[in-house]
Every structure is written in structure tokens, then in C-alpha cells.
Chains A and B, each alone.
Chain A
Amino acid sequence: MARTCKVLSPLVVLALALGACGSSSDEGTTTTGADGSASRSLVTCRASGEITVAAAASLTEAFTTIGDQMEAACEDAAITFTFDSSGKLSEQILSGAPVDVFASADEGNAEKVADEAVGAPEPFARNQLVIVTKPGNPEGIASLADLADLADAGVVALCAEDAPCGRFAGQALEAASVDIDEGRVTRGQNAKATLTAVTEGDAVAGIVYVTDARAAGDGVEAVAIPEDQNVIATYPVVAIDGPGDDDLADAFVAYLQTDAAQQVLADAGFLAPT
């Protein structure tokens, strides 16, 4: 098997671990990062690899950045993303969608696709819920309980009950013993759509991931949910037996554990996996 491997400049804070030829090739070279850490910054990519990564909508910004990093490092690697609710994505994968990597916002959906998966799901990030309101929080929302007592036309945006963010929101509301009348809940198909109902639409508030709130910038104001009510979502990633390049898929899964990728995820508001 002829493999084209390439060593990146140590200046590039990028590490591809256990890549396509990294562990099995003699040509692999270990370099030391600019920061001096002896991380596994071996960069090995096979030319003209193509993969499709299906990822939870909340990963949109972080994964786009990570994808750019990988494409910059790996000549001729093309990574295509499809972002939607994890529930929708797992359904699509089971229906035979051409996907090579699945990053879910919950463990349930990652397990659902076990038959199509290559290897076991591996946690790579965690996320938390947060209340978002219009900028300036005009309704003065301070807690989950306030969401149930909004003025007349106030509508709360939650994720669909079957999307992880919707299920987690339900758990958080239950933990806080808050019951919002379903007649004033608009259900977004995924975390992004839910956020949009607050940023663009007339939803007074919503419950989304911390990462979504951060991505929205000034568009919303975030109101923290206390630890005892909040839900920690664990994000697993798993390679799928898809039409794309298997080695590149493995490389992507592995890359998520590197310092560089973890930094991007942390910048987006994710917590490190336990």
C-alpha cells in the first residue's frame, strides 16, 4: 500500500494522531510542537480522501473550524458536513445515508446506529443547557420557573421532544419541577432552529446548548441554569461504514481527541469529555 505521508511544520498547531499511515507506517515521524509539548503531532493523510461527517447541529461552528484545519493539513482531503438534530441524523444513517462519521449530541442516538458503526462510540465533548432570551432579557427571566410564568403571548422555544436537546430540556424542567403549557411551546427541529425562533422570531426565550448561545453572540442573552437542574450532554463520535475513505474517517475521529481540536471545542463552549 503506497501511502503519501506528509510532515507538517511544527509551527502549525495541528496534530493528526493515528492517521491513515501514522501507526502502521515506517515513514511516520514524530515531531515536537511549537509549544514544546510532545504531542502526537504526526500528520499523515492519504491523498484524495473524501468523507461525509454527520454532526449534531450544535457542533456546526466547532466542526466547521476543525474541518478547515484538517483540510488545510491533509492535501486533497475533502470533508463534507451535514448538521441536523442527532435524532434526524441517526434516522438517516439507518436509512442508508452516505455518512462516514457520526457525531451525536447524545449517547442514545450513537448507540442506535451500532449496526452501521465501525468500532464503539467515543465521547469527545460535553455540553450544557442554558436559557436564552432576547438581548437585554426584557422579560427579566432568571430561572427555568420563570419560563412557565411568561406574560400572555410569550412563547418558549424548545427542541423537538425527540431531539437530544429537547429531551435534555425536558429533564432539566422536570428537575426544576417546572411545567410549561405545551400550547406555548414551539418545537424546533434541532438546537439551531430552536435558537433561531428566539433570535429571528418572536419566541421570548428558549432552552439550547451553551455552545449555541455562545455562537449566537449578541443575538441573545444567556441565563445560566443551576448545576442541580442542568443536564450534561455527552457527545460521542463514531465512524460509520460509509462510502467515503475509511482511513480519513478514522483520522477524523482520532483528531477530535487532540489538543488542537479540544481547543476549538472549548472555544465554542464545550466541556472536555470526562
Chain B
Amino acid sequence: MIGRRGRRRPPIVALALGAVAVALIAIPLVGLLQRAAWGSLVDDLTDPASTEALRLSLTTSLAATGVALVLGLPLAWLLARTDLPGRAVVRALVLLPMVLPPVVGGVALLSAFSLRSPLGGWLHDVFGLQLTFSTAGVVLAETFVALPFFVITVEAALRQADERYEQVAATLGARPATIFRRVTLPAIAPAVGAGAVLAWARALGEFGATVTFAGNIAGRTRTLPLAVYLALESDPDAAIALSLVLLAVSFVVLVALRDRWLGRS
């Protein structure tokens, strides 16, 4: 093509398959948009039950992301940078929630933390802490499913990062904590961001583990996906409206963060 030299035209096969991939995801979402009752949208969304579920979803998913960040960063570092025995086993273990059906994850959490389990009973007797049917339980369930996404992303980045920068920093007199903060962390910052976004997205859409472990209590554990599931029966229009909110919030965040963390073009 004249005037566009140097810009290779993408192969037709790639274009076609890429378009199918986009369609696969876009078409159902367009279907949702087309089915939405736009007339009653405002009413559906300003309904206190909706705003409450949205607020709960945002706070719990952000809290879960925070927990994943605080716990996942050291774990990823240990997995990538040390030769602790049993790392392979630990890595596989940490990734298990990705393949476990979320409902089973919920049952697993129940087995461990319900009041009748030894650990859950102990937490309740000693600290008066009950995770089941609590907002903390929602955060726990969301963290359980979201943490692997963060760890796997950050660990991969740590493996790729050039350790020699850290060695140079050490010869310059920097202590390990300083090296991590000023050399390692800046090098893996994009991956930390991407991992956090992935974990947050996973936590935001969490349903199975949450409903099984934390139940479905209005204002306490009824996050947006649970509210959507309940509303599907009684008021599909409201359910779709709620889903649109979930989609809109996620879409805005993902687009806004894309350039920054998910790799610039």
C-alpha cells in the first residue's frame, strides 16, 4: 500500500481468527446490552439493595486485592528467588484454587473455618471471630480464589527480572530490604500492577466460593454477583442492570489501567 510502507499488513488468517475471538466475547455482552431495560435502569440501580451490593462488592474485592498483595508479594519472592525445599509443591498448591470449582473452594473453606471445624471453633472461642456469614468471610473467599492470579503473575516477573541488578545494588552497600524496595520492586512494578488487577477482577466476579462459605445475607455478604443470581429469578431486568454495573466498573478500570500495567503498545 502506497504511503504506508513499513507497516506490515497483518495476515488474513490472524485477522479472521482474532475477529472470531473478539466476537466470542463481544456478542454475549452485546446481547446483554440489547436485553437491558434501559427505561427502568436508573430505578433498578438506585434501589438500595443494588447500591448496597455494589458497595459491598467494591469494598470486599479491594480488601481481597490488598490481602493478596501483602501476602502474595513475599510468597512470590520466596518461590522465585530462594531454594527453600518443597517450592514446587507449594507453587502447585497455591495455584490449585485456579482449577478448583469455586463452589468446592467454598466447601473447603467451610470445612476449615466453620464453627464446627477445629480451627473455626478455636477462632470463635478465643477471638470471638466468626468467618462464616461475615463480610470478613467474603474477603477470605475472594482472596482464596484471587491470590493465585497475583502470585503467578508476580513470580513470573521475578523470574524474568535480572538478578544482577540486585547484586550491583548490594555491592553499592544496599541492604536486602532497600534492594527490594528500590531495585526489585520498580523492576516488577508492571507485573505487580497487572497481578493486582487480575486478582481484583477475579475477586469482583466471585460467586461460588462466597455463596457457599459466607452465605447470602443482605448488606453483609450479598455481593453484586450474588444479588444478580438472586434477582435473575424474580426480576431479570434488575439482574441485567446489576450485571451492567459490574461490567461498566470493570471495563473502566481495565481500560484505565491497561496502558499503565498490562503492557503498553
Contacts and interface: CB of A to CB of B under 8 A. Distances in A.
- Complex: A in contact with B (CB within 8 Å): yes
Interface of A: 85, 87-88, 91, 153, 155, 157, 160-163, 182-189, 193, 196-197, 200-203
B94 to A, nearest CB: 25
Contacts of A155: 132-133, 215, 217
- 3 smallest CB-CB distances across A and B, nearest first, come from A186-B215, A162-B234, A87-B233
Given A91-B236, A200-B107, A162 B215 contact: no
Contacts of A197: 215
Interface stretch (B141-149, B178-186, B188-196, B218-226): B218-226
Given A160-B230, A162-B234, A202 B216 contact: no
Contacts of A160: 216, 230, 233-234
B261 interface: no
Given A202-B114, A202-B132, A203-B133, A186 B221 contact: yes
Nearest to A161: B234
Given A200-B110, A201-B213, 20 more contacts: A85-B233, A91-B232, A91-B233, A153-B130, A153-B133, A160-B233, A161-B234, A162-B230, A162-B234, A182-B218, A183-B219, A184-B217, A187-B216, A187-B222, A189-B216, A189-B230, A197-B215, A201-B215, A202-B114, A203-B215
A187 B230 contact: yes
Interface residues of B, number: 26
Contacts of A157: 215
Interface string B92-120: 00000000000000010010001110001
Contacts of B115: 202
Contacts of A87: 233-234
Contacts of A186: 133, 215-217, 221
A104 to B, nearest CB: 13
A115 to B, nearest CB: 16
Q: Which of B132, B133, B232, B236 has its CB near the most chain A CB atoms (within 10 A)? A: B133
Contacts of B232: 88, 91
Nearest to A95: B236
Interface of B: 107, 110, 114-116, 120, 130, 132-133, 211-213, 215-222, 229-230, 232-234, 236
A155 B213 CA distance: 13
Contacts of A153: 130, 133
A2 B132 CA distance: 59
Q: Which of B114, B132, B229 has its CB near the most chain A CB atoms (within 10 A)? A: B132
Contacts of A85: 233
Given A155-B133, A162-B233, A200 B114 contact: yes
Contacts of A202: 114-116, 120, 130, 132-133
Contact of A185 (B110, B211, B217, B233): B217
Contacts of B216: 160, 186-189
Nearest to B214: A186
A24 B32 CA distance: 47
Contacts of B120: 202
A184 B132 CA distance: 12
A5 B39 CA distance: 56
A161 B234 CA distance: 8
Given A201-B110, A201-B114, A202-B133, A88 B233 contact: yes
A60 B195 CA distance: 42
Contact of A201 (B132, B220, B236): B132
A184 B217 CA distance: 7
Contacts of A193: 211
A193 B212 CA distance: 8
Given A153-B130, A155-B133, A189 B229 contact: yes
Contacts of B133: 153, 155, 186, 201-203
A186 B133 CA distance: 8
Contacts of B130: 153, 202
21 contacts: A85-B233, A87-B233, A91-B233, A91-B236, A155-B217, A160-B233, A161-B234, A182-B217, A182-B219, A187-B216, A187-B217, A187-B222, A187-B230, A188-B216, A197-B215, A200-B107, A200-B114, A201-B132, A201-B212, A202-B114, A203-B133
A264 to B, nearest CB: 28
Nearest to B132: A202
A188 B215 CA distance: 8
A197 B230 CA distance: 16
B214 to A, nearest CB: 8
A194 to B, nearest CB: 10
Nearest to B117: A202
A183 B220 contact: yes
A189 B222 CA distance: 12
B217 A183 contact: yes
B48 to A, nearest CB: 12
A147 to B, nearest CB: 15
